[in-house]
Amino acid sequence: MPLLTQWFIKSALVYLTVSLLVGVALTAQGAVRLPAVVDALAPVYFHLFMVGWVTQMIFGVAYWMFPRVSKENPQGWEGLALVTYITLNVGLIMRAVVEPILALRPAPVWAVALIVSAVLQWIGATVFAANTWRRVRAR
Partner 1 sequence: MPRLSCWFIRASLAYLVAGFTLGALMLTLKAVVRYDGVGLLMTPHVEFLLIGWTVQVTMGVAFWILPRCEGGTSRGAVGYAWLAFVLLNAGVILAGLGPVLGDAGFIRLAGQVAEAGAAVAFALHAWRRIRRASF
HEC string of the chain? CCHHHHHHHHHHHHHHHHHHHHHHHHHHCCCCCCCHHHHHHHHHHHHHHHHHHHHHHHHHHHHHHCCCCCCCCCCCCHHHHHHHHHHHHHHHHHHHHHHHHHHHCCCHHHHHHHHHHHHHHHHHHHHHHHHHHCCCCCC
Interaction with partner 1 in 12-71: which residues (CB under 8 A)?
Answer: 43, 50, 54-55, 58, 62, 65-67
Q: Which is nearer to partner 1, 28 or 67 (CB)?
A: 67
Binding map of partner 1 across residues 79-98, x = CB under 8 A, - = no contact:
----------------x---
Q: For residue 122, state whether it binds partner 1 (rule: CB under 8 A).
A: yes
Q: Which is nearer to partner 1, 7 or 91 (CB)?
A: 91
Residue numbers at the binding site for partner 1 (CB under 8 A): 43, 50, 54-55, 58, 62, 65-67, 95, 99, 102, 106, 110-112, 114-115, 117-119, 121-122, 125-126, 128-129, 132-133, 136-139
